[in-house]
Amino acid sequence: MHRVYWRTILITLTLLVGGWLLYPSIRFYSQPRSAQEDMRVRRNPLVGKILNLGLDLQGGIHLLLELQTSKLPDDRAETVNEAMDRAIEVIRNRIDQVGLSEPLIVKQGEKWLVVQMPGVKNRDQAKDLIGRTALLEFRLTEVGGIPEALMTKVRDLNLGPKDLRPGNMPKEIVELLPSGTELLASKETNFMLVKSSAEMTGAGIKNARVEMGNDYSGVSPHVAIEFNDEGKKQFADLTEANVNRNLAIVLDGVVQSAPVIRTRIPDGHAIIEGQFTSEDAKFLKAVLQAGALPAPLEIVEERTVGASLGDDSIKAGLKAGAIGVGLIFLFMAIYYKWSGMLANLALVLNLFLLLAAMAMFHATLTMPGIAGIILTIGMAVDANVLILERIREEVRLGKTPRMAVDQGYNKAFSAIFDGNLTTIIAAVFLFQFGTGPVKGFGISLMLGLLVSMFTAIVVTHTIYELWLMKSNVQKLSV
């Protein structure tokens, strides 16, 4: 089969996949805002597939938090960094539990955290979510596991891990729970049936650290924990009475791990083992130490962005983009004639595939991201202009239409590739080292440039070749 047909198949499949990726977003955002909010509250599966809007587009809460380092044991850089990591884990775990879409939690400087919660309207609720003390508990799992009738009901109701939180479970689930138990989300198995009352809390933990190798897991990492005097006694009694049972470690209503109690542990030192990677072990260590925030977090800056302001931003961005793109379309059509119309088609496909790529990566669209998209359109126009000018030069030299097209693309490729590559490198650095809006601008620019190279070099060239194969073209309209 001729290579042009293979490229045609590739382009067709790419467009179909792009449509499949964008369909959930089109369906979601075509509904009234009230219906969108209702779908978020009910945790509709469609919400997890959409292209999310950032704080500046859908409204929400922006907080700048300062860690009160005076409450830490010392002010060494290592201590402060560890406390910041613990604070991030605690906050992220809480925000995940309320089902927010694409929250942003990043360090800023040595002791500050930026927290953005798109879609949150209740200011006091958001501040309470950040500032309250996390609850770390040790609970025994139910012997025999989860009853089949209970799991069947979970599947029938299409419930996910985030739908099951203490004190906020569907009535149908509560009615099927064995007496004295709760069905909680689990990081290991989606769900776990545990006792409703805690055997002990995280107040008894003195320290936790990651170690390598032990009698049970060979060289695999594990987490070693140490209890204080009161916790040592509680843990000894707990392990003696429950040998060979699983003990669930629960943080803010989510089971982080459920190790087996192998023997009585009287000295206050225990290990948690499993099929851990190094990152898993580090995370579990942070969870064990994050029974409470390591130090108070003070809100030093607070901004509330209203949904109406977000709507205005979207309208202004769309208006600016539409005017710019319209002028580009008009210029290309007048100056380059039929070939200009083909370049315009490439721009439309460029925008379509860029949004599909952002949806695939679950990226968040922000105003800087829209700026990156508009800049991408400009770069895509530049690529098409280079190609068309090269084709014009070949036509002036007396080349046949087919030869002019082939030579035009071949000679323009190096300039397009070099120009886009240098900009992509800059975009990668923006994404890697930037935060918030800078990161959003970087990812939209990077994806846009990759897509524009595909549409300008592959798509338009393929259309030219198909046209020249099917028609006896004597003169190019360029």
How does DSSP assign 371-408, residue by residue?
Answer: HHHHHHHHHHHHHHHHHHHHHHHHHHTT--HHHHHHHH
pLDDT digits over 339-357, tens only? 889 999 998 999 899 999 9
Phi/psi for 201 (5° steps) reads: -115, 175
Residue 387: predicted pLDDT: 92
Closest to 37 measured CA to CA, from 59, 18, 17, 63? 59
252-263 tens-digit pLDDT: 677 878 888 888
Model confidence at 105: pLDDT above 70: yes
What pLDDT does residue 43 have? 65
User: For position 23, what pLDDT does the model report?
Assistant: 92
Query: What phi and psi, each to the nearest 5 degrees, are found at residue 260?
Result: -85, 135
Q: What is the pLDDT of residues 64-97, one digit of tens each?
A: 888 888 877 788 888 888 888 878 877 776 666 5
Q: Is the pLDDT of residue 417 over 80?
A: yes
Q: Return all residues near 6 (Cβ < 8 A) that are at least 6 apart.
A: none
pLDDT in tens, 433-462: 776 667 778 888 888 889 988 998 899 999
Q: Please give the domain boundaries of the chain with CATH numbers for all domains.
A: 3-36+306-470 (1.20.1640.10), 60-133+297-303 (3.30.70.3400), 137-289 (3.30.1360.200)
- Tokens, residue 417: 């590739």
Q: Which of 144-153, 214-223, 443-452 has the lowest mean pLDDT?
A: 214-223
CA torsion 34→40→45→46, rounded to 10°?
50
Using CA atoms, how far apart are residues 137 and 17, in angstroms rounded to an integer? 45
Residue 459 per-residue DSSP state = I
Helix (H, G, I), strand (E, B) or coil at 95: helix
Interval 1-29 mean pLDDT: 88
Number of residues in the chain: 478
- The Cα 295–Cα 83 span in angstroms is 7
Mean pLDDT within 247-273: 81
pTM: 0.61
How confident is the prediction for the chain on average, in pLDDT? 80
